[in-house]
Structure 1
Amino acid sequence: MATSDTGKTLIALASGAAIGAVLGILFAPDKGDKTRQKIKDGYKDLEKGMKTKLANAKVDLEETYEELLSNMSYKTEDVITFLEKKLADLKEQNAKLHKN
């Protein structure tokens, strides 16, 4: 999942949870103190869920970063090897030109 997709998913999740919690509480036939406790509990649940999602997103981002660095390292080695071969070829061609 791309980073921007993760951000959009988190926003959608938070918005949906908040709207659902508010609507559920507003239409519930409870006393004020029970309603306030439900709001508080709902907020804590939402906060916990968001922290978990953000932690997972951070791990995903770190894994993607490490994978990118690893791939770049291999590609860098491939480029260096290619350039070394080309340099050796050019030196050989240059040596042949100087002999003539």
Structure 2
Amino acid sequence: MSSGKLLLGVLAGVAAGALIGILFAPDKGTETRKKIIEKGEDYVDGLKEKINGLIDEVTKKVNATKTKVEEVIGDAKQKVEETKATTN
């Protein structure tokens, strides 16, 4: 299972548990709705942070891979030029 799916599953479970806990709490309807909205906003903020972290991580890996590919291409071009020079 990928870490993204695991994270999504954990967040969904936590959100469902919090929602059930709030719904069964002995508060007025307005207070319950207010708590649901606040918890929802908290979970959305947390999810945004996780997504931004994941995007940063992927961006770093893409940039590192791009750099490595550019190095390999440069080395290959150099070897081609060296081979051309020795055969002429």
If the length of structure 2 is used for normalisation, what is the TM-score?
0.73
Gaps of 5+ in 1: 22-40
- Residues 44 and 60 (structure 1 numbering): CA distance in 2 closer, same or farther, change over 3 Å? same
1:14 aligns with 2:19: yes
> In the superposition, relative to structure 1, how do residues 14 and 88 fare at CA in structure 2: closer, same or farther (>3 Å)?
closer
Pairs aligned (count)? 81
Which structure 2 residue ranges, 5 or more long, are not aligned?
A: 1-5
Shift of 1:18: 3.5
What corresponds to 1:76 in structure 2?
A: 62
1:1-100 equivalences under 5 Å are 2-19=7-24, 21=26, 41-99=27-85, 100=87
- The ranges of structure 1 where at least 4 consecutive aligned residues each deviate by more than 3 angstroms after the TM superposition are 16-21
The amino acid across from 1:65 in the alignment is I
In structure 2, do the counterparts of structure 1 residues 64 and 94 end up closer, same or farther at CA, with 3 Å as the change threshold?
same
Q: Does structure 2 conserve the Cα–Cα contact (< 8 Å) formed by 1:14 and 1:46?
A: no
Root mean square deviation of aligned Cα: 2.2
Greater relative CO, 1 or 2 (CA 8 Å, sep 6+): 1
**Aligned equivalent of 1:36:** none
Identity fraction in percent: 15
- What is the TM-score of this pair, normalised by structure 1? 0.66
Question: In structure 2, how many angstroms separate the alpha carbons of the residues matched to 1:68 and 1:17?
Answer: 30
Looking at CA atoms only, which structure, 1 or 2, has the larger radius of gyration? 1
